[in-house]
Homo-oligomer: A and B are copies of this chain.
Amino acid sequence: MREVGLRDGLQSIARVLPTGHKLEWLRAAYEAGQREIEVGSFVPPRLLPQLADTAELVAFARTLPGLFTSVLVPNLRGAERAIDAGADLMLLPLSASHAHSLANLRKTPDEVVAEIGRIRAARDAAGSACLIEVGISTAFGCTLQGRVEPAEVLRLLQAVLDAGVDRVGLADTVGYADPRMVGDLFGQAFAVAGERLACGHFHDTRGLGIANVMAALDAGVTRFDACLAGIGGCPHAPGASGNVATEDLAYLFASMGVPTGLDLARLLALRARVAQWLDGETLHGTLWRAGLPRTLQPAAGEAA
């Protein structure tokens, strides 16, 4: 599981969380067992002032042993900053919806593919080991455009593989997917990308987030994005609220015996702290209300 609350989560919330709180979040997430965290975006601060301290967060993340540090970059300029900062992975968004691509990046999907090729060349020229991952967003539909053809998603998937990316993922940016769509598209995408298909990113906008994760898991996906407290959303995709909640997803895997290395009690404690910091914002997730079941707390009573 990759925690994306500090990036996808905070970008959707207008208030600026102080850097001190972000560092505390990062450390507590690490102590709860999270080992891959997207700490921010290298976008111009005038566009997303919430994420202006990304370089500082990457620097701190690099001091935590074994933490894999991910950042989002929208273009070559951002990629250069990610390489300079020493991130382990840069996530490049590529929207399968032309309408969303133009709204979000002011480029067509094929212009983004060309930029990805330039980023790959720059990464190699710099002698950097920073992995390049492309997240194909709006892969299951788009609030601006409506339907997104699976054939277009698969065409773009092939194009970014040809451009030399290390990993790809599929994202349901606006919560339009259902489990059948997820099983079908991931199945087809695995046939194109093989093990380079390495991430599922789901929003719970319409209640199907966890069911979609299950469908992707059944299709062979072993790495998922999630946001603590289910925050998250794209500023240029209306109604794109609510990533799957880290704590709910961690509970799903714990209940099924799928190892994640996460400490659920610590995650719930961190969620409570983040909820205080974000007091007044709309948060999501379900587990925090009921607590862990007795069956996952063999030594103790029912969680409060």
Contact = CB atoms under 8 A, between A and B. Distances in A.
A142 B302 CA distance: 11
Interface stretch (A10-18, A25-33, A40-48, A286-294): A286-294
Interface centre among A141, A176, A207, A290 (most CB of B within 10 A): A207
Interface stretch (A53-61, A151-159, A249-257): A249-257
Contacts of A213: 211
Given A146-B295, A238-B302, A291-B239, A208 B210 contact: yes
A187 interface: no
Contact of A143 (B143, B287, B302): B302
Given A207-B210, A210-B207, A289-B241, A252 B147 contact: no
A110 interface: no
B147 A178 contact: no
Interface in A35-79: none
Interface in A112-166: 141-143, 146-147
A193 to B, nearest CB: 25
A224 to B, nearest CB: 13
How many protomers of this protein does the assembly include? 2
Contacts of A176: 293, 295
B289 A245 contact: no
Contacts of A286: 204-207, 242
Interface string A276-304: 00000000011101110111000000100
A302 B145 CA distance: 10
Contacts of A205: 286, 289-290
Nearest to A242: B286
A143 B294 contact: yes
A252 to B, nearest CB: 6
Contacts of A215: 214
A106 interface: no
A175 interface: yes
Contact of A210 (B147, B210, B257): B210
A225 interface: no
Interface in A193-242: 204-208, 210-211, 213-215, 238-239, 241-242
A26 to B, nearest CB: 24
B251 A285 contact: no
28 contacts: A141-B294, A143-B293, A143-B294, A147-B295, A176-B295, A178-B255, A178-B256, A179-B214, A180-B255, A180-B256, A205-B286, A205-B290, A206-B251, A206-B286, A206-B290, A206-B293, A207-B210, A207-B245, A207-B248, A207-B251, A207-B252, A207-B285, A207-B286, A208-B210, A210-B210, A238-B302, A239-B302, A241-B290
